């Protein structure tokens, strides 16, 4: 397979879908990622793509990417350039900065392929937990190709699964749909589960607790980021002691402070 087109090297790829197609093209041949890198200057392409994304990227509510212009500069920006570029929050209280620091540490550990970790962020409503969770998913999707390139061992392009507590409710998500979600989460290299504790258990069947325990068991040893507005002291009563025990085995970050929404109105 000759990776270069007759008119020269292939054009610079401009979005994540193109990157996925390109990685599949590499994996379908006998060419190693190193050879592809040498013949197509993939490192240079990656840098150009990442720079372009950093200038134009916005994260939609579902964690996907948008080409809308970036928001205006914050009056009280986060302290790190990466946080300013990717998380985009107003620092209305110290806990917002703490949340950004935790997200950055988690993100960089995933990118460097350090040992997997379970991170649970617990805090009051309005501290930016969902905002940061979506932004974290968007960043990971944007740099997935660069992370894949660092491995240089072929395989699938890393994927990120963003889900909400809705999937824990049997009334909102039937068993077949739940298993589809689980299959995608198990194949992802990073999983983000947002807003735990808001799921509905109308008939007190214990279904949400059973599903959450199931998720924690099947995703053990994965990069798993969870957010909840339930304090650790309420985990056993919200779900059960099995879930509490598994959650407490992770890295728990507890935040408390005023809602940033009320501060920036």
What does the pLDDT average to over 176-191?
96
Residue 3 within any structural domain of the chain = no
Question: What is residue 200's predicted lDDT score, i.e. its pLDDT?
Answer: 79
- Give tens-digit pLDDT for 34-48: 444 444 444 445 445
Question: What is residue 6's predicted lDDT score, i.e. its pLDDT?
Answer: 35
Residue 263 within any structural domain of the chain = no
Q: 158: closest CA among 117, 113, 216?
A: 113
What does the pLDDT average to over 202-215?
90
If one counts the domains in the chain, the total is: 1
Residue 189 within any structural domain of the chain = yes
Query: How would residue 216 be classed by pLDDT, with cut points 50, 70 and 90?
Result: very high
Establish how many alpha carbons lie within 13 A of residue 220's alpha carbon, considering only the half-sphere containing its beta carbon: 9
Residue 262 within any structural domain of the chain = no
Q: With 90 as the cut, is the pLDDT of residue 18 above it? A: no
Which residues span the domain enclosing 249?
16-255
Q: 58: closest CA among 85, 92, 82, 18?
A: 85
Question: What is residue 99's predicted lDDT score, i.e. its pLDDT?
Answer: 97
Highest mean pLDDT among 65-69, 89-93, 126-130: 126-130
Q: Where are the beta strands (DSSP E) in the chain?
A: 58-59, 65-66, 118-123, 160-164, 190-196, 223-228, 251-255
Residue 177 within any structural domain of the chain = yes
Handedness of CA 177, 182, 187, 192 (dihedral sign): positive
Question: What is residue 154's predicted lDDT score, i.e. its pLDDT?
Answer: 58
What does the pLDDT average to over 219-243?
96
Query: How would residue 19 be classed by pLDDT, with cut points 50, 70 and 90?
Result: low
Q: With 50 as the cut, is the pLDDT of residue 122 above it? A: yes
Question: What is residue 72's predicted lDDT score, i.e. its pLDDT?
Answer: 59
Helix axes 94-111, 129-142, angle to 10 degrees: 30
Q: 21: closest CA among 34, 11, 7?
A: 11
> Which is more confidently placed, 166 or 148?
166
Distances 260 to 94, 101, 135, 175 between C-alpha atoms, Å: 11, 17, 16, 37
What does the pLDDT average to over 233-248?
96
What is the percentage of the chain residues whose pLDDT exceeds 70?
68
Q: How many CB atoms lie within 10 A of CB 104?
A: 19
| Spatial contact of 4 and 25, defined as CB atoms under 8 Å apart | no
What's the CATH number where 68 sits? Answer: 3.40.50.300
Q: With 70 as the cut, is the pLDDT of residue 159 above it? A: yes
Q: With 80 as the cut, is the pLDDT of residue 62 above it? A: no
The b-or-e profile of 34-69 (16+ CB within 10 A means b, else e) is eebbeebebeebbeebeeebeeebebeeebebeeee
Residue 66 within any structural domain of the chain = yes
- Give tens-digit pLDDT for 123-158: 999 999 999 999 999 999 999 988 888 766 556 789
Residue 136 within any structural domain of the chain = yes
Question: What is residue 264's predicted lDDT score, i.e. its pLDDT?
Answer: 53
What does the pLDDT average to over 2-16?
40
Residue 118 within any structural domain of the chain = yes
């Amino acid at each position: 397979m000759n990776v270069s087109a007759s008119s020269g090297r292939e054009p610079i790829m401009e979005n994540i879908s193109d990157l996925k197609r390109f990685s599949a093209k590499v994996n379908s041949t006998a060419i190693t990622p190193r050879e592809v890198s040498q013949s197509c200057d993939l490192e240079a392409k990656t840098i150009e793509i990442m720079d372009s994304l950093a200038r134009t990227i916005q994260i939609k509510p579902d964690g996907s990417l948008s080409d809308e212009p970036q928001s205006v500069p914050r009056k009280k920006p986060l302290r790190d350039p990466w946080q300013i570029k990717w998380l985009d929050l107003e620092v209305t209280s110290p806990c917002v900065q703490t949340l950004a620091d935790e997200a950055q540490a988690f993100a960089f550990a995933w990118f460097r392929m350090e040992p997997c970790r379970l991170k649970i962020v617990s805090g009051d409503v309005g501290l930016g937990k969902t905002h940061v969770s979506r932004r974290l998913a968007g960043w990971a999707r944007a740099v997935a190709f660069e992370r894949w390139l660092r491995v240089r061992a072929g395989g699938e392009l890393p994927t990120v699964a963003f889900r909400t507590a809705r999937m824990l409710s049997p009334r909102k998500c039937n068993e077949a749909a739940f298993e589809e979600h689980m299959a995608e989460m198990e194949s992802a290299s990073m999983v983000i589960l947002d807003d735990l504790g808001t799921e509905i258990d109308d008939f007190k069947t214990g279904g949400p607790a059973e599903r959450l325990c199931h998720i924690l068991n099947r995703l053990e040893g994965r990069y798993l980021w969870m957010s909840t507005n339930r304090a650790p002291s309420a985990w056993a009563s919200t779900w059960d002691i099995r879930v509490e025990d598994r959650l407490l085995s992770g890295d728990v970050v507890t935040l408390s402070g005023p809602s940033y929404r009320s501060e920036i109105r």
